[in-house]
Homo-oligomer: A and B are copies of this chain.
Amino acid sequence: MPPKALQDNLDVDYVIKYKIPSDDKEKASRQFQVLIRTLAEIHLETEVRAADDSSLFVFVKASDDQAFADVVYRSRIRDWLHGVCQIQPVKETVETLTQAPLSEAERLRIIYDLMTCQDADGGANITPKHGDWKNVEAIFSLHNHTRNKDWLAEFSKKTFLTPEDLDHIRNAVGEKIAYYYAFLQSYFQFLMFPAAFGASVWVLLGNFSPVYMIGIGMWSVVFVEYWKRQEQELAVRWSVKNVGSIEFSRREFRPEKIHKDPLTGEEMGHFPIQKRLQRQLLQIPLAIISAIALGVVICTCFAIEIFISEVYSGPLKSVLVFAPTIILTVCVPTVSNFLTGYAEQLTFYENYETKGAHDKAMISKVFVINFITSYLAIFLTSFVYVPFASILVPYLDIFSLTVQPFAENEKQLQSPPPSQFNINPQRLPNQMFYFAVTAQIISFATETVVPILTRKGGHKIEAMRSGAAKRSGGSHPSISANDQPDEKEFLARVREEASLPEYDVTSDLREMCIQFGYLALFSVVWPLTPVSYFINNWVELRGDMFKLTIESRRPIPERADSIGPWLNSLEFLAWLGSITSAALVYMFRDGGFGPDGRPSKIKFGLLMLSVFLSEHTFLIFRQVVRHAISKLDSGNMRKERSERFMVRRKFLEDAGLGDAVKPLTSPTDSPLKTINSGVSAHANTTITRQSLEEDARKHSLHDSTDSSRFWNKQRGWQESEQVGLRLIDMMENQNDKKRK
């Protein structure tokens, strides 16, 4: 049973950590006053406490139910206008707007938007760490620790999360994060098929099996298309359809000129699209520089490693062979962080109007960098080392410099003649094993275990420090000493949570996307890969849950109707997989030994043909799957259609379907019946003598035109009918005459 303070958030909606820098105290305290008044103006209640030596906590609560209900109502209207919901919201009672159907995440999101959105979007424009509000260090809400513990306990017991579990996640932390868990869950479930299939293939057919290639290719298509559909289903289930179209303007957007919309009179910042397209062209040099920078690092380490392991024969070989890996582990993150920094600058320079567009542009750049760092090494092994090693290895002599200090004689540094050279056939499977198993374990450790240890270590150091300070005289009393006793525990917990890092769902998504890439691109090398990923992802989901609930601040709920640009990455990787898998299978088809470092063993035409066939089969299959999935119906879709139908029917009924055209409802029956029952046609009720007379009057007004003469030949439908019947009679007579 956790202590009481962990259970109860005392109705706090948000905690604002406000920094008072010692060098600019006056301005900071004036801005603090502005903060408190601004919050009061948007009807939020506040309490202030000390956070640490130089910051305050402002606790915020939406206590005015009426004011909050208005905000919720406005937010619902905006949703409806953007097509997020079908039915126009009505101003309900305060209770229905602020209580039951309003989830925790929605409440928190609306309050956060109220505090931080721009004036135009109806917010108070508080911008943490930015502009006037640079002293607002953080805005965060408090974890619900009881529920978090329940989740961790429950999820560690079951294999699959239920849709309801995902709903709970969504209700607590918002749709954006819930989409990640839904994706991870779908991916994990789908992995069952290739895991079972891969294991059987591995037992029966071994590595590089064309059967496995076809299986994994089809699987990746079906999975990606299924997930696309699943996204839509979830969007309906969570009522976030079209949420992506609600655009929040970016504060950092620098318009080139302001112009006034002639229609709305709104002043709008404008940035010429041609200029942005030009700036976007800089992505090409960025991609090239990334490829070169990372390529040089990776290729060099790769070459050195090959040189040491396959050419060098001097002492310390078994130790030196790890040197390149160590260089790689240090250099690649450094270089890629550097490049990510540049990518970020470029994205800022591209100057997007909306947050969505900015994030999308950034993610696509991050994907390029990650693609290179993740797959280049194994690409090199597959498509350079294996086919061309015997030609290239002699040129590696230049790397002899790196081990010269250790060599005892020149001979140890000389490569064997190409004819005698043999490649290491285990290199590719080993590398794949690394990415399938070892790398996953390392990543899990750095993501989940290391932060715990660091934090525990940090606490210990702090405890030691404060102990030392006390012993040395106590001139540095802890700020928490002034806390009132009934709040002590609670404030300690808030301080603890404030010190945690923010949760970044993008990096988790990226990790899964890269994993999918290994599966689609290279798993044909080792068909047990999906088995390993299947096991890993069970742990991954629980680990991420742990990270989300224990190791991070509670995230601000955001909405989303998709996992975003990562979806395109998945599609791209599946496509590329159809090319690489076919090439790998073609090259290694003879028992998995491959071209043995000699390109002459590869029939280039056949290689290209197999790639061509595989790729186009993939594309046709994808088209078929897309078509089939787009036609499938589901309860959610039906519900949405019915709702839309009802809205339309209501409007059409209001628009007078009921009166003006009423007699239409059964046009074929009623006249027939009157005719058949022998009632005179003139007794028809809808056309009265009066209306006929009015017709006559109307016509007499402009009696002179050709048109009116034509239309007045037969007055009313009765006369038309008579004339028609007479004409039919005449036909009869004529035909009779003819027959005679």
Q: Does A609 contact B (CB under 8 A)?
A: yes
Taking CB as reference atom, which chain B residue is nearest A82?
B648
What is the count of identical protomers in the complex?
2
Taking CB as reference atom, which chain B residue is nearest A699?
B63
Q: Which of A635-672 contact B (CB under 8 A)?
A: 638-639, 642-643, 645-649, 651-652, 655-657, 660-661, 663-668, 671-672
Known contacts A36-B721, A475-B738, A720-B58: does B686 contact A30 (CB below 8 Å)? no
- A605 in complex: contacting residue of B605, B642, B675, CB < 8 Å: B605
- The CA-CA distance from A20 to B728 in the complex, in Å, is 7
For the complex of A and B, list the 3 residue pairs with the smallest distance between their C-beta atoms, beginning with the closest.
A608-B608, A604-B605, A605-B605
User: Is B714 within 8 A of A70, CB to CB?
Assistant: no
Q: Does A488 contact B (CB under 8 A)?
A: no
Contacts of A59 in B (CB 8 A): 710
Contacts of A631 in B (CB 8 A): 273, 276-277
* Closest chain B CB from A81 CB (angstroms): 5
Majority SS at the chain A contact face: helix
- A724 in complex: contacting residue of B8, B48, B82, B264, CB < 8 Å: B48
- Proximity string of chain A (612-641) to chain B, C-beta cutoff 8 Å, 1 when within and 0 when not: 100000000000000110011100001100
- A717 in complex: contacting residue of B25, B46, B633, CB < 8 Å: B46
User: Is A41 within 8 A of B720, CB to CB?
Assistant: no
Chain A interface: which size bin?
Answer: 35 or more
Q: Does A85 contact B (CB under 8 A)?
A: no
- The CA-CA distance from A655 to B731 in the complex, in Å, is 68
Between-chain CB contacts (< 8 Å), 11 pairs: A10-B711, A39-B717, A48-B721, A48-B723, A53-B734, A70-B656, A70-B661, A73-B656, A487-B710, A604-B609, A612-B612
Taking CB as reference atom, which chain B residue is nearest A42?
B664
Q: Does A124 contact B (CB under 8 A)?
A: yes
Contacts of A628 in B (CB 8 A): 277
- The CA-CA distance from A123 to B663 in the complex, in Å, is 11
Contacts of A723 in B (CB 8 A): 48
- The CA-CA distance from A53 to B656 in the complex, in Å, is 43
Known contacts A11-B711, A32-B724: does B125 contact A273 (CB below 8 Å)? no
- Proximity string of chain A (42-61) to chain B, C-beta cutoff 8 Å, 1 when within and 0 when not: 10011111100110101101
Q: Does A149 contact B (CB under 8 A)?
A: no
User: Is A20 within 8 A of B731, CB to CB?
Assistant: yes
Contacts of A70 in B (CB 8 A): 656, 660-661
* Closest chain B CB from A35 CB (angstroms): 9
User: Is B671 within 8 A of A263, CB to CB?
Assistant: no
Contacts of A36 in B (CB 8 A): 717, 720-721, 724
User: Is A667 within 8 A of B714, CB to CB?
Assistant: no
- The CA-CA distance from A54 to B728 in the complex, in Å, is 8
User: Is A720 within 8 A of B81, CB to CB?
Assistant: no
- The CA-CA distance from A656 to B81 in the complex, in Å, is 15
User: Is A264 within 8 A of B642, CB to CB?
Assistant: yes
Contacts of A47 in B (CB 8 A): 710-711, 713-714, 720
* Closest chain B CB from A505 CB (angstroms): 26
